[in-house]
Amino acid sequence: MNKVWFITGASSGFGAELAKAAIDRGDQVVATFRKAAQASDFTIAHQGKGLGVLLDVTQPAQIEAAVQRALQQFGRIDVLVNNAGYGTIGAVEEFSMQEVRDQFETNFFGAVALTKAVLPLMREQKSGHILAISSAAGFKATGGFGIYNASKFALEGFNEALAQEVSPFGIKVTIVQPGPFRTQFAGSSVKLAGTRMDEYKTTPVAQMYHYISRIDGRQEGDPVKGAHAIVDFVHGEGKTLRLPLGKHSLDAIKAKLRAVQADLDANEQVALSVMYQ
């Protein structure tokens, strides 16, 4: 059965490739852009199969308008992809509170607002699939990535609970956890902390600054293959809560699980010692 997708952040990277992959599969796609010209070009390029709409996920009024445009064009939304977002690099201490809030407004609150706008439609349909484009960094944190980690950790917690809440309505939720892919994430989409502190020059933060400066264009993941894997997962009725993508993602998640298990083993007696007898 053909599906109607609603994909945010479709100007580049996973969003752009997902839109192409879904249309190639025979689906219809509502793709969102922050520039009107890009939205218009998408609509023209995909006559009848694709609709480009203007949307900044941090603007509630635009969210409602975009959802209504999707319904007017295709009558339903089967797959919501909360993809819009960006990365930040820097020590937690280096970020201003405004920079922290801006990161959460896009990566977390924008996804929450759009999900809330689409859920009534999916409940009425008694079907739907919500995809949260998280990251391996949404499961395992790294020094120098802390604010980005926090926004993605929040996204994962939200969707883990959401999956349990909406399952009775026939709605599925999947957290997609890519590792490094050759998108614009390490290039034009990444923002560095506005302040640089000398105190962090010999810490893991400095290593992260160095990593992000040399990894762009050398990442292990192919976004075209990643997009097709996601589309195949959705059409294959994928039911798992998490979908890791790439070797780095698998390795990072497994390392986190081992570390958590080691902490549990080391502190099991302490944990049990606080119980009422």
What is the residue-wise DSSP string for 42-54? HHHHTTTTEEEEE
Share of the chain above pLDDT 90, in %: 85
Question: Using one digit for the tens of pLDDT, what is the confidence trace for 240-276?
Answer: 999 999 999 999 999 999 999 999 999 999 999 999 9
Given 11, 134, 135, 151, which residue is catalytic? 134
Residues in the chain: 277
Q: What are phi and psi of 148, to 5 degrees?
A: -65, -45
Domain ranges (residues) in the chain? 4-247
Under CATH, which number does the domain 4-247 receive?
3.40.50.720
- Whether the pLDDT of residue 239 is over 60: the answer is yes
Residue 69 and residue 32 in contact, taking contact as beta carbons nearer than 8 Å: no
- Catalytic residue status for 148: yes
| Whole-angstrom distance, CA of residue 132 vs CA of residue 9 | 12
- SS3 string, 214-233, reads HHCCCCCECHHHHHHHHHHH
pTM above 0.85, yes or no: yes
Of 3, 140, 152, 172, the active-site residue reads: 152
pLDDT (tens digit, 9 = 90+) per residue, 74-128?
999 999 999 999 999 999 999 999 999 999 999 999 999 999 999 999 999 999 9
Q: Which of 148, 151, 209, 249 is catalytic?
A: 148
- Distant-in-sequence contacts of 124-128, Cβ < 8 A, 24+ apart: 125/76, 125/78, 125/170, 126/169, 126/170, 127/78, 127/170, 127/171, 128/77, 128/78, 128/79, 128/80, 128/166, 128/170, 128/171, 128/172
d(Cα 18, Cα 230) in Å, to the nearest integer? 8
Which of 140-175 are b and which e, b meaning 16 or more Cβ less than 10 Å from the residue's Cβ?
bbbebbbbbbbbbbbbbebbeebbeebeeeebbbbb
134 is catalytic: yes
